Structure 1
Amino acid sequence: MNGRLRRLTIALATAAALATGAAHAKTFRVADQGDALSMDPHSLNESVQLSFTGNVYEPLVGRDKKLGLTPALATSWSQVNPTTWRFELRRNVSFHDNTPFTADDVVFTLQRAASEGSDMRSYTNTIKEVKRIDDHTVDVITQTPFPILPDVLSSVYVMSRKWCTENSAERPVDKRKGIENAASFRANGTGPFRLKSRDPGVRTVLVRNFGYWGKIEGNFEEVVYTPIGNDATRVAALASGEVDMMQPVPVQDVARLKRNPAIEVLQGPELRTIFLGMDQSRDELLYSSVKGKNPFKDKRVRQAFYQAIDMEAIRTRIMRGAATPTGLMVAPGIRGYVAELDKRLPYDPEASKKLLAEAGYPNGFEVKLNCPNDRYVNDGEICQAVAGMLARVGVKINLEAESKATYFPKILSRNTSFYMLGWTPGTYDSHNPLNALMATPGASGRGQFNLGNYSNPKLDELTDRIASETDQKKRGAMIAEAFRIHQDDIGHIPLHQQALAWGMQKNVRVVQMSDNYHHYKWGGM
């Protein structure tokens, strides 16, 4: 189909849809506690951003309503040999500017996602080469056998080579450096919705793509996305009918909203683990009263911090029961989760004081804790509670809580000594957090989010072996060994898995999944 005929076909389809379905098409107004910080799908590996842009852009391999793999821009995939995956691409697909989707866009995308400044490099660091076989066939060659490559590519959204080149957006924006380009504010995907307007921090509007190749089950014609950071304001917007849906519902408001006959609260478990990280590489700790050395290099100090945190108090008082304390960096439901290792060190302030004294800090010390206040459920409140708990063992915490718009660039540049982060493995496999959060940072993207530079050569070796192991029993044993090493080292301080809570008007229909992604094509009113 030539470009002119395709545009005419799309125009006729759009007109027909509007004529027959205008009475049923709806504007869906949704509020979140924070904004999607960029329209560039490779600029920030953060669930809010990837969830939102995932309605505009698409990966080769998608996820169904149960998080299983499903064809998206690739109709099928198979291993040609142990290190080569072949992807057959969907035909007759166009980007929103009517440019045809081809293998050239896939090659370009995977190179772009692996480039300097990309926040998705931990998803591409196993890829050695991407080969165009023909217009609709691509081979992805990995460094070693990598059986979970389709899972990994489900998080990498395909961009138009032509559009990026014409708009000087060949490389993703680097959020660490504050660099922006056309892809920060504009978008050109293949997905079920197009970007209509973008006012960062205020309002972003999507409209239905009537030329979409796939099925759109719902009737949202327009989606108006509004960030509302204040909990009370967000709740009031839902209660007054100003918005059709909002998330997260503040834990203190769940019961009250459930009593409102016009509102429904949809709750479920989330696969995200909230944890604290510590700088373990600098010779002198930043933002600390300790000069000439780094207390976090001493395991006794890390353990003292861990055992000073009363997770049961956080669960009951801060999270109102909407959290599951954890001793692991992955949640139940992630492939490789080891239930017998999911045990926290006991809360013991006296043991913490003793450990600090043994490490040479009998009176504690002072350090800054960086924390977001609009990203995770009650994130600021949790950090305040942690600061109070550490004060009881002599550690003075200077808490710096701020919007994720300034928080993420800061900590991603490793300008931090002690920080909070949340992580949902985009592959739903334990190799992802091992590779991205726990492995020693490397040039190719390994350890990209290991912001405290924790390092253990044995864990690195296991992570590499896990990547290529096809025997599931052996692979599971290696994952367990790697987790045990990380626990013994106290590489990070895991806190809990938070629970999902979406509030909506009674007439709204959505699909809530445990990755907290919102697919507007499945929603209706």
Structure 2
Amino acid sequence: MTFLSKFLKPSGTLGSLLVATALVSPLTIPMSATAGPEDNSIVWASHVLPRVLDARIHRRQVEQTVFLQIYDALLDFDSGLNYRPRLAESWEQVDPLTWRFHLREGVQFHNGEPFNAEAAAFSIQQYAELDPPYLYIPNWAPAWPPTAEVEDEYTVVVRTPEPLPNLPRLMMRIGMLPPEATLDPSYADKPVGTGAFKVENWEQGGAIDLAANKDYWDGAPKVDSLKIIAISSAAARVAALQAGEVDFIWEAPLDRLDDLRPDFQIIQLDNPQRNNLIAFNNLAVDSPIADTRVRRALQMTFEGQEIIDGLFEGFASEGLGPVPSAAYGAYNAEGYPGRDFDGARALLEEAGYGEGFDLTLIAQPGSFTNLTSVVEYLQSQM
């Protein structure tokens, strides 16, 4: 993702593509950056708006980015992709199945509820008991579900049914929730966290008004408010930025960057942590996709560098394997095979699909930069 802003300063985080590892990434904590000289607020134009603000069910990148303004996790990454304390000041592994987190004292939720071990244990159990289930269970398996118990007022113990050496990393997606407010049936309409901004006004599908949390434990934001609006057209987002109607845009068109550099700050961050990719439905046992030869043939119909150069203006790099290079357990598979139509046809013949078959490709709007162009490219190559 590429961001343009007049005022914001770069901040390190995470972003990526099919056989390419990512462009420029969303900012997780930049909203406390300095605003313009005459206005102590920021208007941020995204390409889409979040469908939910509930920490337990965020999915799309825009939702995750807003999540990071409203909620805190026990820990997260610094700009060097090292763990850093957030609501947990320290942690240790007690045994292969047990982790202990020592919590920050004196933190309050936006509604005044105290953050403590009871709230942390409650939050973890909320994720474990979600229906429909928590989106990121595959990252935990077979160590899902975790259980949490209060050891003392500011110490929580987390246990898993199987060893999980990267549990601290997975806790970054577990936003802390206030027990009393979360159980209110209207919680999803005006969620509450401990983050730098609190929800001031929001209706599902509409613009989001966030107000600075002046009592934020990590220091009050330097802007009073953050408004998030949607402008679906990239050209219209750029026009709004040039007209001074917005301060910050997401998904700036890559072919316009050189034209915009003289007047706007372009925040461009390498993102070794995230891949954008095509995921095959391994549960479709009666589909051609269930045959490994078909999946290999599909891999051989694309040329990663062609996507990078043609659709991303060079703002990406080819992945070395299915797991982002900075992720826990990443394996260097030395990249993906190049295009080989003859080899792909031979594999399809061998698998019994020489005459072809129908394939449904589902793409979620707003998933990553130039999504429509990428999908059209994939269709043309198939």
For the 8 Å contact 1:87–1:137, the answer to whether it is kept is: yes
Q: Which amino acid aligns with 2:274?
A: R
Q: What is aligned with 1:379?
A: 371
Counterpart Cα distance in 1 of 2:211 and 2:57? 23
Give the alignment partner of residue 206 of structure 1, picking from 210, 215, 232: 210
Q: What is aligned with 1:236?
A: 239
Distance of aligned partners of 1:327 and 1:70 in 2 relative to their CA distance in 1, 3 Å threshold: closer
Counterpart Cα distance in 2 of 1:64 and 1:325? 24
Distance of aligned partners of 1:39 and 1:278 in 2 relative to their CA distance in 1, 3 Å threshold: same
Instruction: Measure how far apart 1:384 and its partner are.
Output: 0.7
Distance of aligned partners of 1:233 and 1:283 in 2 relative to their CA distance in 1, 3 Å threshold: same
Q: Which amino acid aligns with 1:141?
A: R
Q: Does 1:255 align with 2:269?
A: no
Instruction: Measure how far apart 1:272 and its partner are.
Output: 2.1
Q: What is aligned with 1:195?
A: 199
Runs of 4+ in structure 1 displaced over 4 angstroms? 21-25, 122-125
Q: Structure 1 unaligned runs (5+)?
A: 1-20, 169-181, 285-293, 391-525
Q: How does 1:68-87 map to 2 (within 5 A)?
A: 68-87=82-101
Instruction: Measure how far apart 1:374 and its partner are.
Output: 2.5
Q: Does 1:148 align with 2:162?
A: no
Q: Which amino acid aligns with 1:326?
A: G
Counterpart Cα distance in 1 of 2:214 and 2:200? 14
Q: What is aligned with 1:179?
A: none
Counterpart Cα distance in 2 of 1:367 and 1:69? 41
Instruction: Measure how far apart 1:22 and its partner are.
Output: 12
Counterpart Cα distance in 1 of 2:340 and 2:139? 38
Structure 1 vs Structure 2: percent identity of aligned residues?
25
* TM-score, scaled to structure 2: 0.83
Q: Which amino acid aligns with 2:64?
A: L
* TM-score, scaled to structure 1: 0.61
Give the alignment partner of residue 369 of structure 1, picking from 342, 361, 365: 361
Secondary structure in structure 2 of the residue aligned to 1:77: strand
Counterpart Cα distance in 2 of 1:60 and 1:39? 19
Q: What is aligned with 2:276?
A: 274
For the 8 Å contact 1:307–1:346, the answer to whether it is kept is: yes
Q: What is aligned with 1:421?
A: none
Once the two structures are superposed, residues 360-410 of structure 1 have per-residue CA deviations (whole angstroms, 9 ceiling, x without a partner) of: 2222122221112322111111111110111xxxxxxxxxxxxxxxxxxxx
Secondary structure in structure 2 of the residue aligned to 1:304: helix
Secondary structure in structure 2 of the residue aligned to 1:269: coil
Q: Does 1:135 align with 2:153?
A: yes
Counterpart Cα distance in 2 of 1:238 and 1:193? 23
Counterpart Cα distance in 2 of 1:279 and 1:337? 22
Q: Which amino acid aligns with 2:258?
A: A
Q: What is aligned with 1:473?
A: none
Higher helix share: 1
For the 8 Å contact 2:128–2:146, the answer to whether it is kept is: no
Counterpart Cα distance in 2 of 1:93 and 1:312? 48
Distance of aligned partners of 1:124 and 1:90 in 2 relative to their CA distance in 1, 3 Å threshold: farther
Instruction: Measure how far apart 1:146 and its partner are.
Output: 3.0
Q: How does 1:55-66 map to 2 (within 5 A)?
A: 55-66=69-80
Secondary structure in structure 2 of the residue aligned to 1:130: strand
Distance of aligned partners of 1:103 and 1:122 in 2 relative to their CA distance in 1, 3 Å threshold: farther
- The more displaced of 110-119 and 380-389 is 110-119
Instruction: Measure how far apart 1:25 and its partner are.
Output: 7.0
For the 8 Å contact 2:111–2:192, the answer to whether it is kept is: yes
Q: Does 1:332 align with 2:325?
A: yes
Secondary structure in structure 2 of the residue aligned to 1:80: strand
Q: Which amino acid aligns with 1:121?
A: I
For the 8 Å contact 1:39–1:187, the answer to whether it is kept is: yes
Give the alignment partner of residue 178 of structure 2, picking from 140, 148, 160: 160
Distance of aligned partners of 1:371 and 1:120 in 2 relative to their CA distance in 1, 3 Å threshold: closer
Distance of aligned partners of 1:132 and 1:335 in 2 relative to their CA distance in 1, 3 Å threshold: closer
Once the two structures are superposed, residues 112-152 of structure 1 have per-residue CA deviations (whole angstroms, 9 ceiling, x without a partner) of: 11123232434665254311122222111222443322222
Q: Structure 2 unaligned runs (5+)?
A: 1-34
Secondary structure in structure 1 of the residue aligned to 2:69: coil
Instruction: Measure how far apart 1:44 and its partner are.
Output: 2.7
Counterpart Cα distance in 2 of 1:120 and 1:302? 24
Instruction: Measure how far apart 1:320 and its partner are.
Output: 1.9
Counterpart Cα distance in 1 of 2:320 and 2:103? 41
Count of aligned pairs: 343
Once the two structures are superposed, residues 162-220 of structure 1 have per-residue CA deviations (whole angstroms, 9 ceiling, x without a partner) of: 1112x13xxxxxxxxxxxxx33321111111111011333310111111222224x511
Counterpart Cα distance in 2 of 1:205 and 1:388? 41
Counterpart Cα distance in 2 of 1:84 and 1:373? 39
Higher strand share: 1
